[in-house]
Chain A
């Protein structure tokens, strides 16, 4: 058979992509997981360290209960079951950025297990299973470009609490992987456990990729891709790697179980090390940390304190409020914006109109200002009032946009602006008919065109009426009146 050289769409591909993701998320606790050092990002190298997180001889770890609580919170939000105890194990390996020669992690008893996350259309979602969620300490960071001929290490990151979230190999495309990551990130933001910034390394992704012929239910040989710096590189790397694997298999070759490095510049994956050569981590329970019980009532308290999660919110927006999936995604993806939208609803605004305003006018202003929703000057109740004026036909949409501009600029009440600028819409039939008749009389040609069947002539006539009224005419009413006159006077 011929080998496809370029990646086709999912439909044309003769193979299926199978992906499992390992995501590391840094928890936003005030202090590190086993000592009291601060966790601020971007501090002077090696300024946020102490004997414990430097692993000096004789030091001992003491668990930060807040990190454990955050881990349980995240695991619950990912629909996981929670272990009755938190047990920590040592993962033994040598690396210059690993201060103790082992990483404190969780091996056989991850704090959360058997969870799931829904992706895709809320009306017909796909459920990606989550195998485990476990808590561990982050390592320092090796820097290879700071000093000529030498590597240096910044240990500020050493001991930052880290959550590892491992999915089952349930993901079937690069787009779905991105979708999963987007949803996962939102869960972290909504639960407040992490700022999940891929560019700062507080969310890191490793992809396990394999391919198999369409229709097969046998898993292929997996390669693990590391060094993914953005959602985009995740998508590109999966696409590339799947195609590479398929080409090897199609040419009669065999794949090796290995770790591959994503070369961001060349957009290719490069073999890093064979999995067979991988470390034997010699996990064993950390004798310095006694298992910590996680009482069921404590877990339930955390569960009860969870906010509405992004999955539920998306479902509600699409299924109950009839928003488009796209609009729902945009809103849910920005908790601040979604919060403002919720406030509009609470103030009585109609959902679709509210969503439309938030995602066009409000968002445009924020983007222009480069500001967040916190800086938006119009309180939700006031914007809801403006929407009501449009809904009731008091002002036109065009007028409403002008009022909005002024509200943003001056902080004025919408009613005051409408009155001051005389924007109240003319919905008085008699008054409008007078203008309609004047416009018809002044434009015999378009009238003739319309009667000859050219519908677009109507638009011109509506425009003329609007012009006469300086935009204050109720456009629906103008339409109705024009049609009525043009057909009756035929």
Chain B
């Protein structure tokens, strides 16, 4: 049906072709499995590939189409899933030795929704252990390479998912975003990544890092594909008390290409110290494109921005210290093989062996922030400032429809550069943690290249107004072609990108 390789097709293209019987899910799946076999030895995006199970599932989809049934809006679309999202019968490790060999007996709500929409889970992708990191270097199993430059990180923590989509190993992927873990790798890998509003997508089945910040969200190659995925993922789930009853929108229908009258705010604090001036410039130029298309652009201020990173690290580590307490070697996961003398000894040794250094660092910090005598000073204070940060955003978003900022202060950095310097690593998140603390939707799209590496534009919107974010992103992508560029790695196996 097309002159392009099947691994170049997007979500909407693939699903519509499969639904109409013009393309078989099995051939789509096989093409992606072949692609994974060809390139993943270098990219190392996947921790587990479902292979035969994915093909069997694809044949079911094809059979349904033959019967005249509609397999759903994601018919035959291979989806890569971050390995901290539970998949029934498929290993789920959170890239931690602690969960090596763990096979969940249940599916996360998002997996159920993907399956019900006809998607095909093609594999589980690498991440920083328990989603703690910004480079995917903290995985206990492997380091994922950036498809644009294999000596560089893909960003994190959902680096495997972003790299898989960028490398043509899957047209779509799921990630989780606690402080930027979808947006940062989307920026570094030149794909579209959306962190929905807190409560928009059920967290049931996502291995918790920081419960009040975590959200599951999609990766794809453009805003339209992202909108299709969000429509499947979003909605109330009675298994997650924090999921919202708020109705979902017609996300694809919102993609009118029209941004006339849209008010975009540029928060000064996101363009100053710590942000590469060339990145800031690329973002300003992207905003200028939208302005030329009829959007209004105004300078705004978020005075509490400098507190977002410290507040984020207090809240996230405190919650993580409790969320990760269940990994004790008693019921599942890693248990020490050394002789133990007591319950306490069993738990301490199992955790000591099972967790990597970054996870331990954060558990220790979080435990400290919650301890008697320090709670008010740290966790309690952080919650108060979190409120102020939220108020900041609320005030500004009453004046503008969305905010535009860099997603990351730099482009992808070299593997190993920051691995042993937590503070340098944490700086990668300075532009993204605010949306998590405020619970706001935010996405990242590619808006240019520096030295051959993608630059990310972040759009932050009002609560539950993902539609406006996607409309702006789609309008931008209609006017530009950054999202159509593929890394050389991909070009080697493809006949050149279509337009």
Give per-residue flags for B324-335: 1 if the beta carbon is below 8 A from chain A beta carbons, else 0.
111110111000
* Bound Cα distance A101, B375 (Å): 19
Q: Which residues of B have CB within 8 Å of A57?
A: 86, 92, 94, 99, 102, 104, 207-208, 326
Q: Is the CB of B322 within 8 A of A102?
A: yes
Which of B22-30, B136-144, B235-243, B467-475 forms part of the interface with chain A? B235-243
B interface list, Cβ under 8 A from A = 84-86, 92, 94, 99, 102, 104-106, 108, 203-208, 210-212, 238-242, 318-319, 321-322, 324-328, 330-332, 343-344, 346-347, 367, 370-372, 375, 379
Given contacts A57-B104, A280-B372, contact A287 B325 (CB under 8 A): no
Could you say which residues of chain B place their CB within 8 Å of the CB of A59? 106, 204-205
A143 at the interface (CB under 8 A from B): no
Evaluate contact between B343 and A96: CB separation under 8 angstroms: yes
Instruction: State A266–B212 Cα separation when bound (angstroms).
Output: 50
In the complex the two chains form, is A58's CB within 8 Å of B326's CB?
no
Q: Give the residue name and chain of the B residue nearest to A92 (CB).
A: B322
Contact (A63, B204) CB under 8 Å given A56-B104, A94-B344: no
Cβ–Cβ < 8 Å partners of B99 in chain A? 57
Contacts A56-B332, A58-B208 given; indicate if A90 touches B85 (C-beta within 8 A).
no
CB-contact partner of B241 in A56, A63, A153, A284, under 8 A: A63
User: Cβ of A60 and Cβ of B325 under 8 Å apart?
Assistant: no
A274–B275 alpha-carbon span in the complex (Å): 53
Which chain A residues numbered 88 to 139 have a C-beta less than 8 Å away from chain B?
A: 90, 92, 94-96, 99-102
List 5 A–B pairs whose Cβ atoms lie within 8 Å, in order of A's numbering: A56-B105, A57-B92, A58-B84, A100-B325, A290-B242
Distance of B94 from chain A, by nearest CB (Å): 7
Residue among A57, A61, A288 with most chain B CB within 10 A: A57
Which residues of A192-219 are within 8 A (CB) of B? none
- Compute how far the CA of A95 lies from the CA of B370 in the bound complex, rounded to whole angstroms: 19
B102 contacts A60, CB within 8 Å? Answer: no
In contact, B347 and A284 (Cβ under 8 angstroms): no
Residue of B nearest to A97 (CB): B330
Whether the Cβ atoms of B331 and A54 lie closer than 8 Å is yes
> Which residue, A51, A94, A102, A282, has most C-beta atoms of chain B within 10 A?
A282
- Which residue of chain A is the closest to B210 with respect to CB atoms? A287
For A62, give its contact among B207, B212, B241, B344 (CB under 8 Å): B241
Smallest CB-CB A-B distances: 3 pairs: A101-B325, A287-B211, A287-B212
Among B85, B106, B240, B372, contact of A282 (Cβ-Cβ < 8 Å)? B372
In the complex the two chains form, is A58's CB within 8 Å of B108's CB? yes
Chain B residue at minimal CB-CB distance from A88: B241
When distances are taken between beta carbons in the complex, the residues of chain B under 8 Å from A60 are: 203-204, 239-242
B322 pairs with A90, CB closer than 8 A: yes
User: Roughly how many angstroms separate A270 CA and B86 CA in the complex, as a whole number?
Assistant: 46
Counting contact residues on chain A (CB < 8 A from B), the size range is: 20 to 34
Given contacts A54-B331, A280-B372, whether A101 and B207 have CB atoms under 8 Å apart is no
Given A94-B344, A96-B328, A96-B343, check contact A289 B322 (CB 8 Å).
Answer: no
Tell me which of A51, A58, A61, A289 contacts B206 (CB under 8 A): A58
Indicate the member of A60, A95, A290 with the most B CB atoms within 10 Å.
A60
A137-166 Cβ-contact flags toward B at 8 Å (1 or 0): 000000000000001010000000000000
Complex formed: what's the CA distance from A289 to B239 in Å? 11
Report the Cα distance A287→B198, complex, angstroms.
12
* Count of chain A to chain B residue pairs whose CB atoms are closer than 8 Å in the complex: 103
* Contact A282–B105 (Cβ < 8 Å): no
Report how far A238 CA is from B316 CA in the complex, Å.
45
On chain B, the residues within 8 Å of A56 by CB distance are: 86, 104-106, 332
Kindly state the separation between the CA atoms of A99 and B332 in the bound complex, as whole angstroms.
Answer: 11
Residues of A within 8 A of B325 (CB): 92, 94, 100-102
Report which of A61, A96, A280, A287 forms a contact with B371, defined as CB distance below 8 A. A280
Known: A60-B204, A92-B325, A288-B241. 7 other contacts (CB 8 A): A56-B332, A57-B86, A57-B102, A58-B85, A62-B239, A283-B370, A290-B242
Q: Which residue of A lies closest to B106 (CB)?
A: A51
Query: Residue A463 at the B interface, CB < 8 A?
Result: no
Contacts A57-B92, A58-B108 hold; do A288 and B211 have CB atoms under 8 A apart? yes
A280 CB to closest chain B CB (Å) equals 5
User: Which A residue sits closest to B344, measured CB to CB?
Assistant: A94
B322 and A51 contact, CB distance less than 8 A: no
A58 and B104 contacting across the interface, CB-CB below 8 Å: yes
- Give Cα distance in the complex from A102 to B204, angstroms: 18
Chain A 64-97 interface 0/1 with B at a Cβ cutoff of 8 Å (1 = within): 0000000000000000000000000010101110
A55: Cβ under 8 A from any B Cβ: yes
Provide the bound-state CA to CA distance between A167 and B304, in Å: 45
* B332: chain A residues within 8 A (beta carbon): 56
- Residues of B with C-beta under 8 A to A96: 328, 330, 343, 346-347
- In the assembled complex, the Cα of A280 lies from the Cα of B347 at a distance in Å of 17
Q: Whole-angstrom distance between the alpha carbons of A61 and B240 in the complex?
A: 7
A103 to chain B, nearest CB (A): 11
Cα(A56)–Cα(B206), bound, Å = 11
- As a 0/1 sequence over residues 374 to 416 of chain A, the CB contacts with chain B under 8 angstroms (1 = contact) are 0000000000000000000000000000000000000000000
CB < 8 Å neighbour of A94 from B210, B331, B347: B347
Residues from chain B with a CB closer than 8 A to the CB of A61 are 241
Kindly provide the distance from the CB of A46 to the nearest chain B CB, expressed in whole angstroms: 10
A290 touches B207 (CB 8 A): no
A51, B379: Cα distance in complex, Å: 30
Q: Name, among A56, A100, A153, A290, the residue most crowded by chain B CB atoms within 10 Å (CB to CB).
A: A56
Residues of A within 8 A of B367 (CB): 282
Kindly report which residue of chain B lies nearest to residue A62, judged by CB atoms.
Answer: B241
Given the complex of chains A and B, what is the CA–CA distance between A56 and B318 in angstroms? 20
Which of B99, B325, B371: most chain A CB closer than 10 A? Answer: B325
A314 to B102, CA, bound (A): 58
Complex contact B322–A284 (CB within 8 A): yes
| Bound Cα distance from A279 to B242, whole angstroms | 29
User: With the chains together, A428 CA to B239 CA distance in Å?
Assistant: 80
CB distance from B198 to the nearest CB of A (A): 10
Q: Is the CB of A282 within 8 A of B204?
A: no
Q: Given the complex, which residues of A lie within 8 Å of B319, measured CB to CB?
A: 287
CA distance in complex: A102, B108 (Å): 22
Quick one: which of A55, A63, A151, A280 contacts B326, CB cutoff 8 A? A55
User: Which residues of chain B come closer than 8 Å to A95, judged between CB atoms?
Assistant: 343
Chain A residues within 8 Å of B104, by CB: 51, 56-58
Q: How far is the CA of A95 from the CA of B343 in the complex (A)?
A: 7
CB atoms of B205 and A153 under 8 A apart: no
| CB of B72, distance to nearest CB on chain A (Å) | 24
Decide: A287 and B242 in contact? CB cutoff 8 A. yes
Residues of A within 8 A of B240 (CB): 60, 62
Please name all residues of chain B whose beta carbon is closer than 8 Å to the beta carbon of A102 when the two chains form the complex. 322, 325
CB distance from B365 to the nearest CB of A (A): 13
- In the assembled complex, the CB of A472 is this many whole angstroms from the nearest CB of chain B, namely 73
B343 / chain A contacts, CB cutoff of 8 Å: 94-96, 151
Partner of B370, one of A62, A101, A282: A282
Contacts of B344 in A (CB 8 A): 94
- Chain B contacts of A101 at CB under 8 A? 322, 324-328
B381 CB to closest chain A CB, in angstroms?
Answer: 13
Q: What residues on A are CB-neighbors of B108 within 8 Å? A: 58
Chain A residues with CB under 8 A of B204 = 58-60
A101 to B208, CA, bound (A): 13
- Complex Cα distance, B331 from A99, in Å, reads 8
Query: Which chain B residue shows the least CB distance to A280?
Result: B372
Q: Is the CB of A290 within 8 A of B241?
A: yes
Give the Cβ gap from A451 to chain B, nearest Cβ, in Å: 87
- Are B239's CB and A58's CB within 8 A? no
B324 CB contacts on chain A under 8 angstroms: 101
Contacts of A55 in B (CB 8 A): 326, 331
Q: CB distance A99 to B326 under 8 Å?
A: yes
Which residues on the B side are within 8 Å of A151 (C-beta)? Answer: 343
Chain A, range 306-329, C-beta contacts under 8 Å to B: none
A55 CA to B211 CA in the complex, in Å?
Answer: 15
Distance A96 CA – B206 CA, assembled complex (angstroms): 23
CB interface residues, A 237-282, toward B, < 8 Å: 280, 282
